């Protein structure tokens, strides 16, 4: 892995762990094993590197979500696969955590990939819900946009509750509860 890649990956990890302010250029260079001037050789500075890192994280989240939402199975099964997919629950969502970072939220440029990713996720989930309604698997009274917002809120809130308690149990309980509400009649979850 070349120096620019190491810088991007180190910044992604540090943003997830420490947030924007806690991610100093010195910490990035140390984690990347890069020399003093290498950040400024490859990037305009910390904001440019952070934006590149945030975009990469957003792309990975989209790809992971699309792998299950666009995968095999009924719409309900795909929503279930999204909710139950492997996650590091106690670390939280690398994109969702950025919404709690005042420096990211205050910057239109840094916030844009976060907003775009969450908007994409809600739209993608809404499409799967609508597909489930059309196939008669999900209740016709459901609003795809509202259910998509509920799914995203359950996941993001589940991360917060799991981190607060130090256990993934709260996340898992939220997922089970939401799936029981969405489950086609007579289907155990």
Residue-wise pLDDT tens for the chain (189 aa)? 899 999 999 999 999 999 898 899 999 999 999 988 888 889 998 999 999 999 999 999 999 999 999 999 999 999 999 999 988 898 888 998 898 899 999 999 999 999 999 999 999 999 999 999 999 999 999 999 999 999 999 999 999 999 999 999 999 999 999 999 999 865 554
Contacts for 79 with CB less than 8 Å, ≥ 6 apart: 69, 125, 128, 129, 132, 151, 179, 182
Q: At what angle do helices 75-84 and 108-134 cross, to 10 degrees?
A: 140
How far is residue 119 from each of residues 26, 62, 112, 122, measured CA to CA in Å? 33, 11, 10, 5
Q: Which residue has the tokens 């809600």?
A: 122
Question: Does pTM top 0.75 for this prediction?
Answer: yes
Q: Which residues, at least 6 apart from 101, have a Cβ–Cβ distance to it below 8 Å?
A: 15, 19, 20, 21
């Amino acid at each position: 892995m070349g120096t620019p890649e190491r810088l991007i990956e180190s910044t992604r990890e540090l943003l997830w762990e420490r947030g924007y302010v806690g991610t100093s250029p010195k910490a990035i260079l140390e984690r990347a094993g890069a020399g003093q001037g290498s950040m400024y050789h490859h990037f305009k500075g910390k904001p440019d590197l952070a934006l590149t890192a945030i975009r990469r994280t957003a792309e990975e989240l989209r790809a992971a979500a699309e792998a299950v939402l666009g995968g095999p199975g009924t719409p309900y099964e795909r929503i279930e696969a999204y909710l139950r997919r492997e996650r590091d629950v106690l670390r939280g969502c690398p994109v969702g955590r950025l919404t709690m970072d005042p420096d990211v939220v205050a910057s239109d440029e840094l916030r844009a990939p976060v907003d775009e990713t969450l908007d994409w996720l809600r739209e993608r989930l809404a499409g799967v819900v609508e597909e489930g309604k059309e196939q008669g698997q999900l209740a016709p009274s459901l609003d795809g946009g509202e259910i998509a917002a509920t799914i995203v809120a359950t996941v993001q809130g589940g991360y917060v509750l799991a981190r607060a308690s130090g256990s993934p149990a709260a996340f898992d309980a939220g997922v089970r509860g939401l799936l029981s509400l969405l489950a086609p009649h007579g289907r155990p979850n």
